[in-house]
Structure 1
Amino acid sequence: MVLITHCGGNTDKINEILVAAQRRFGMYGFEKTSVSEIAADLHMSKASIYYYFADKGKLFGAVIEKEHSEFIESVEQECETLIDASDMLRAYVNINIEFFRKLLNLSRVKHSDIMENRYAQEQMVELRQKELVIIEKTLTKGNEQGTFNVENSFEMAHLFLDLLKGLRKMTIGRKDVFYLNDEEYNDLVKRVRDFTEIFIKGISI
């Protein structure tokens, strides 16, 4: 992880810090969480955390990086088991929405926290690039299989991600804390899956 100051092979300790930080940031947000509180949760000193992470901003960015890495890994593993490009696109969407709820209910990351933290912003940009690669490859594969008819897979991948993000944004509305109850989440799942089927039908031969 690029945001770690020292590693020293102590990956267990780093992961322990990240899990505790994820819990704190999720419950109270970036601004209202202190490194001292995270250290107290772990029964360690603040200096011990600063040994691995130079400041709170980098620690928050590392939490976002951890969550995104887990998401991308899950998508890649699932897509490796599939052959049909349409099924790959559906798998991406299903994992995306499941992961989105995981973030909502475990992390509850504030939009303002991400926008005001350049390290978190960098992770968001990096995640989008990785997602674009996955979607673009899937669309290209569909063309090769003769099931999709997409002239520009790169532009279509951008459009797909933007529309998907728009659906999530409409569901969240003006909420600062990203938390959805069961009814709101189920409604989001239906909208996203309906959109995916319409999208697949629109690019299918």
Structure 2
Amino acid sequence: MAENAEISQDLKKIQIFNAARRTFSKFGFAKTTLDDIAEAVGMKKASLYYYYSCKEEIFRDVVKSETDEFILALEPKVFQVHSVKDQLKTFVKTRTEYFQKMMTLHNITVQAALEFLPLVEQIYKEFFERQFKIINTVFSQGIQNGQLRNFDSERVANVFLTAIESFGLLAIHKSKFGHEIDYQKIQDDAAYLSELIIDGLKK
């Protein structure tokens, strides 16, 4: 009986999560309330507190799920092309598209994004580390197959990823709403940086 109750609770939490994901996409993070989410899932707001204490906690789960989905999609895309230059270009393009989707799909204001950053700090660290592993693998394989000269792949991967992260953060600070961010400039700057790095590391 206890096991059945636990399964029922897990299913209900999944239902809440899916309803919240749709609601965030419809109204945006700032305008979505727990009442909206409760209504979407067909339960009372008071019952919602049994599973989540606030909408930020739900949104954190949504962000974690979407970063997981992104990484699972990113890795095969990067490694289906063979030159290091094309791999970095694919990484930059796919990553920028994901960033734009996150900001616009959930209609996140820049202020909300900045306020929310501390709440997803651990998710961000894991997300950075998983991206770092992909870039480090790209560089390591480039060294092994003779496309690149020998260098500290971990250090360069960290510098590269930190730099393109800063492009996004700078763009956020210059805008008020997600749709005002110049995503093409972010992608172009990151692509330009990747070309400079590859040109400097070619054999």
| TM-score for the superposition, normalised by structure 2 | 0.80
Aligned positions of 1:49-64 closer than 5 A:
49-64=48-63
Query: Which of 104, 113, 116 pairs up with 1:114?
Result: 116
Whole-Å Cα distance in 2 between the matches of residues 92 and 159 of structure 1? 15
Whole-Å Cα distance in 2 between the matches of residues 185 and 21 of structure 1? 25
Asked if structure 1 preserves the Cα contact closer than 8 Å seen for 2:16 and 2:37, the reply is no
Deviation at 1:28, TM superposition (A): 4.2
Aligned to 1:27: 28
The structure with more radius of gyration: 2
CA distance 1:101–1:150, change in 2 (3 Å): farther
Deviation per CA, 1:139-184: give whole Å up to 9, x if none. Answer: 1111111112252111111100111012223333343543336xx2
Deviation per CA, 1:105-159: give whole Å up to 9, x if none. Answer: 1124433332342xx1111111011111111111111111111225211111110
AA of the residue aligned to 1:22: F
AA of the residue aligned to 1:58: E
Instruction: Say which structure is richer in helix.
Output: 2
Aligned to 2:167: 167
Asked if structure 2 preserves the Cα contact closer than 8 Å seen for 1:111 and 1:177, the reply is no
Aligned positions of 1:103-142 closer than 5 A:
103-109=102-108, 110-117=112-119, 120-142=120-142
CA distance 1:44–1:81, change in 2 (3 Å): same
Aligned positions of 1:47-196 closer than 5 A:
47=46, 49-109=48-108, 110-117=112-119, 120-175=120-175, 177-180=177-180, 184-196=182-194
Unaligned runs of 5+ in 2: 1-5
Aligned residues, how many?
Answer: 194
CA distance 1:56–1:15, change in 2 (3 Å): closer
Query: What is the RMSD computed on CA atoms of the aligned residues?
Result: 2.7
CA distance 1:197–1:11, change in 2 (3 Å): farther
| TM-score for the superposition, normalised by structure 1 | 0.79
Whole-Å Cα distance in 2 between the matches of residues 48 and 95 of structure 1? 39
Unaligned runs of 5+ in 1: none
Aligned to 1:202: 200
State, as a whole percentage, how many aligned pairs show the same letter. Answer: 21
CA distance 1:56–1:92, change in 2 (3 Å): same
